[in-house]
Amino acid sequence: MVQIPRLDDLHPDGVRIIIPWDGMKVGMSVFVPCVNTALAEKQLSKIAARRKISMQVQERIEDGRFGLRVWRTL
């Protein structure tokens, strides 16, 4: 079964990543495992602009996985 990404889902590597945006308060963070971090950042920017929130993004390796750590700042 193919999962079609929704408006606020990420899919930088072709795999749907669901982030619980409504439950994400200022100061909270989430790790997004992905290879194509540039596309993930682009998708995050669009979502943030649409939701009128600010985020800080940092490329990292966590628990042996490459991806982005995303903090909600506003």
Q: Exposed, middle or buried: residue 23 (CB in 10 Å: 0-12, 13-18, 19+)?
A: exposed
pTM given for the model: 0.89
Q: Above pLDDT 90, what percent of the chain?
A: 89
Using the predicted structure, report yes or no on whether residue 1 has a pLDDT greater than 70: no
Calpha distance 46→28 (Å, rounded)? 19
Using the predicted structure, report yes or no on whether residue 58 has a pLDDT greater than 90: yes
Domain boundaries in the chain? 21-72
pLDDT number for residue 16: 92
pLDDT in tens, 11-46: 999 999 999 999 999 999 999 999 999 999 999 999
